[in-house]
Amino acid sequence: MLSTQPTEQAYRELVPQFEKATGHKVTTVFTGTLDADKRLAAGESYDMLIMSSGSIEGHIKDGKAAAGSRVDYVGPLPEAVQCYTVFASGIAAGAKKSDAAKALVKFLTAPAAAPAFKKQGMEPG
């Protein structure tokens, strides 16, 4: 899993719950958007991506994320930093564990996950 940093705190709260509920083990790299883009361009392989919806769309167009896999799950950000950025996930093209990645997307977008995002000042999408 490759993720940019804005959703990191809520994600870190939710992933242990997902792992316990499903038995899937999640390994995540958190980094900035430019580094994430460089990693993907260099051919690094991930099962799921979390970044701004615009970035996900770009990676779908580039074939780095599977078409039709984008799910918006959090936005907007706190007013002080609001640029109305929507963060999305996408299943990476050629994901080795796409079923687990899809299960994680479902878990992160479920109503039970909303409080973790709200606690970080974000609105679940």
Structural domain spans, the chain: 2-119
Residue 88, strand partner residues: 51, 72
Which position has the higher pLDDT, 95 or 73?
A: 95
Q: How many CB atoms lie within 10 A of CB 78?
A: 10
More confident residue, 123 or 111: 111
pLDDT of 116 > 80? The answer is yes
Once rounded to an integer, what is the mean pLDDT over residues 87-101? 92
- DSSP codes of every residue in 53-74: HHHHHHHHHTTSB-TT--EEEE
Mean pLDDT over residues 13-40, rounded?
95
Calpha distance 29→27 (Å, rounded): 7
* pLDDT tens for each residue of 33-56: 999 999 999 999 999 999 988 899
* 2-119: CATH class: alpha beta
Is 91 strand, coil or helix? strand
CA atoms of 36 and 100, how far apart (whole Å): 21
Secondary-structure percent of the chain, ordered helix, strand, coil, rounded to 5: 45, 20, 35
pLDDT in tens, 62-71: 999 999 999 8
DSSP E strands: which ranges in the chain? Answer: 2-4, 29-31, 48-52, 71-74, 87-91
In this prediction, residues 81-85 reach a mean pLDDT of: 67
